[in-house]
Amino acid sequence: MGKPTGFLDYTREDCSAVAPLERIKNFNEFHSPLNETKRKQQAGRCMDCGVPFCQNGKAIKGMISGCPLNNLIPEWNDFLYHDRKEQALERLLMTNNFPEFTSRVCPALCEKACTCGLNGDPVSVRDNENTIIENGFANGLVTPQIPKQRSGKKIAVIGSGPSGLATADTLNKRGHSVTVFERDDRVGGLLMYGIPNMKLEKHIIDRRVALMKAEGVEFVTNADVGRNKSANEILDNFDAVVLACGSSNPRDIKADGRDANGIHFAVDFLKATTKSLLSSNLEDGNYISAKDKNVVIIGGGDTGNDCVGTSLRHGCKSVTQLEMMPKLPDERADSNPWPEYPRVCKTDYGQEEAIAVFGNDPRIYETTVKEFIKDENGNLSALKTVKMQSAVDAETGRRFMQEVENSEQIIPCELCLIAVGFLGCQSYIAEAFGVELNERTNVRTENGKFATNVEKVFTAGDMHIGQSLVVRAIREGRDVSAEVDKYLMGYTNIG
């Protein structure tokens, strides 16, 4: 694939990024693509490895290795290297509904399993993917694919995040009539309001939604099913319903002083910023501001990192990120060999920016909040933190984190953002349709299936499998589409 000796002839070269101190002045995407010659060389690094682990997409020791969409990566790298852009786009779109999303926000599970990465740098798969899809849009290769014949079946998709959009796109192309109901004012769900603009500019979502509308998908916004929109009405008027409402019930932190003013869930902080940014470029003031505040973010994951980057763009006084678990190693441990997903410490864009602004990494490991300290007006003024250490339960052998005695510290804080994950779907939507939940408060289905306990009601995405990645949500949307199609038609040709 590509150039047989490309992985020996060319070194990996990534897209250039705007310097941290410059890019925090705005909320724009900050990577610039390589020129065409260099991008072809990067595609040429894809070796004829025989077994392309990059497209495997299976769990190894509980972690996904390779692309969950089973993208045909060696094939479209080969086409890209040989300047056959139209064929590259065709092969890419065979397995991925929205490469313009995954090539921006996916953690590149494919690259973590790339054979080149076994003894060197992996192929720049994600950037190659972005080049293919953006070239397709720029040169008129991505056009509305309107079904030549309609099935007469009507499907309602509740939620317009990545799984809902993938479901709608796949079933519409099959010839069914699809209506997407979104409770917010804009289409996109997690993509629109959960991911900051500097990672995914929102005109990219609008461009895809416009294409889907041209193909026949209908979108209804401000439709909060179970509240201002009747679930029974939808059940009466559609042949099938797919619940793709996400895992939007945030996990809380229980500690003294939790009622202080100035404590917010990360999702509310990020959503408010994006809404205000899109509506008024932040001039309306309708967002949770970090300006001139000491910000503490509880949670060391991607959402916590997004809060770091957003707080810096607001103009925060300081930013600290608390992580309960120990710091991961900088390189793979012997117990974590390739092609397992590498459990290593990564410094993401937000942390890079914090280091540039304040001179130190914002992360503090093995630490959690013991108390939220309020001033006389009930406003948050500081946090009392405590160090944590790993321990083993003598009876069960289970590892857990416990407090270290006399390790409390006080951190100044006027704004605390909780980014410790989600507990499952919000119950009112499940109750509206009468679907059962499992012990993790996700919608219950048979293993590997998408049908719920309610006739003609299906589920997909984070609402089904719990909080996960955009690429897995798209996989869920494609898979539920095949099951819905078979339910409606008696067979399916959705692959």
Question: Tens digits of per-residue pLDDT, 210-269?
Answer: 999 999 999 999 999 999 999 999 999 999 999 999 998 999 999 999 999 999 999 999
Inform me whether the pLDDT recorded for 33 exceeds 80.
yes
- Would 316 be classed as within a structural domain? yes
Q: Report yes or no on 1 lying in a domain.
A: no
- What value does the mean pLDDT take over residues 105-126? 95
The mean per-residue pLDDT over the stretch 44-63 comes to 92
pLDDT for residue 375 is more than 70: yes
Quote the number of domains for the chain.
3
Give strand pairing partners of 241: 156, 457
pLDDT in tens, 330-352: 999 999 999 999 999 999 999 99
Query: 376, 401, 418 — which closes off a domain?
Result: 418
> Based on the domain organization, do 10 and 48 belong to the same domain?
yes
Whether residue 257 is contained in a domain is answered as no
What is the pLDDT averaged over residues 458-467?
A: 96
The answer on 429 and 407 residing in a single domain is no
Which pLDDT score is estimated for 39? 97
* Domain shared by 127 and 229, yes or no: no
Asked whether the beta carbons of 129 and 156 are under 8 A apart, the reply is no
Is 388 part of a structural domain of the chain? yes
- The Cα 400–Cα 199 span in angstroms is 34
Tokens 């020996």 label which residue? 8
User: Residue 2 above 80 pLDDT?
Assistant: no
On the question of pLDDT at 48 being above 90, the answer is no
Q: Are 111 and 205 within one domain?
A: no
Q: What is the spatial distance between Cα 426 and Cα 245, in angstroms, rounded to a whole number?
A: 8
Q: Which of 388, 418, 448 marks a domain boundary?
A: 418
Which pairing describes strands 318-323 and 294-298: parallel, antiparallel, or unpaired?
A: parallel
Confidence of residue 3 (pLDDT cuts 50, 70, 90): confident
Q: What is the DSSP letter of 123?
A: P
Which H or E run contains 176? none
323 pLDDT band (50/70/90 cuts)?
Answer: very high
Residue 203 has a CB neighbour count (10 Å cut-off) of: 11
C-alpha count within 13 angstroms, C-beta hemisphere, residue 426:
15
Cα distance from N-terminal residue to C-terminal residue, the chain: 24
Which tokens is 451 given? 């049908």
Q: Summarize the confidence of residues 175-190 as an average pLDDT.
A: 97
Tokens of 269: 């902080």
Q: Which domain holds residue 102?
A: 6-138
Shared domain check, 393 and 444: no
One domain for residues 268 and 390: yes
Q: CA–CA separation, 375 vs 380, rounded Å? A: 6
Same domain? For 442 and 481 the reply is yes
Q: Is the pTM of this model over 0.85?
A: yes
Q: Give the end of a domain, one of 418, 447, 476.
A: 418
Residues 478 and 414 in one domain: no
Is it the case that residue 62 has pLDDT exceeding 70?
A: yes
Q: The domain that contains 61 carries what CATH number?
A: 1.10.1060.10
Q: What is the CATH number of the domain that holds 170?
A: 3.50.50.60
Return the pLDDT at 1: 60
pLDDT value at position 484? 98
Output the pLDDT for position 219: 98
Query: Is the model's pLDDT at 172 over the cut of 90?
Result: yes
In 228-317, at which residue ranges do the beta strands (DSSP E only) sit?
240-243, 263-265, 294-298
